[in-house]
Amino acid sequence: MKKSLFLVAALLLQFTCPSPALSETREQWIELGARIHGAFGAFIPVGIRIGLDAREKLKADPRGLSITFYSGEKPPCPCVADGVMIATQASPGQGTLQISPERAPPGLMALIIIRNRKTGEGLKYAISDEWLPTILGWNKSDPPARFDAAMAADGLFKAEPAP
């Protein structure tokens, strides 16, 4: 009897509480980003977009990815990593998000290696330094416009299989 009740409760939770990484509205992403990062600057939605892309391409469940983030030589600090963290539900506390002490290769604002924890399949995301002025420019607009700009930016990052 207890097993049946537990199964029913688990199914109800599954169908009434969909995965947050797949169901958030723009406003919910903004709220999460502001709450977790302290503000919703333009680098947060860049990370959200990359995290969602990785979840889809690597067919991963929430918390099913491991991330290593490499910052470029130029500012900002790894703000993009917070966006990736929000979208993938990876975290430093779980050991699934690590900020590398090594730097991204020259010419990159960030390099992010994302792997499916079950399959080992991975993707390497690179954001060119050339995007830095554009992304910083998005900060002159309000948070919804920042989110929309990051989600629509063509060529914002390059993704390729990780070695």
62-77: pLDDT as tens digits:
889 999 999 998 766 7
pLDDT at res. 62 = 84
The boundaries of the domain holding residue 116 are 26-140
Answer yes or no: is 73 within a domain. Answer: yes
CA 110 – CA 139 distance, rounded (Å): 18
Answer yes or no: is 148 within a domain. Answer: no
CA 9 – CA 6 distance, rounded (Å): 5
pLDDT at res. 16 = 33
The CATH number assigned to the domain holding 93 equals 3.30.1330.130
Q: Which residue, among 73, 70, 54, has the nearest Cα to 62 in the 3D structure?
A: 54
Answer yes or no: is 111 within a domain. Answer: yes
Answer yes or no: is 53 within a domain. Answer: yes
pLDDT at res. 76 = 65
User: One digit per residue, pLDDT tens: the chain, 163 residues?
Assistant: 433 333 333 333 333 333 444 579 999 999 999 999 999 999 999 999 999 999 999 999 888 999 999 999 876 678 999 999 999 999 999 999 999 999 999 999 999 999 999 999 999 999 999 999 999 999 999 999 999 999 999 999 999 999 9
Total tally of structural domains belonging to the chain: 1
Answer yes or no: is 49 within a domain. Answer: yes
In three-state secondary structure terms, 127 is: strand
Please give the full DSSP string across 47-87, using - where no structure is assigned. HHHHHHHHHHHTT--TT-EEEEEEE-SSSP-SHHHHHHHHH
Answer yes or no: is 39 within a domain. Answer: yes
Answer yes or no: is 3 within a domain. Answer: no
Phi, psi dihedral angles at 108 (to 5 degrees): -110, 135
CA 144 – CA 138 distance, rounded (Å): 10
Answer yes or no: is 13 within a domain. Answer: no
106-129: pLDDT as tens digits:
999 999 999 999 999 999 999 999
pLDDT at res. 50 = 98
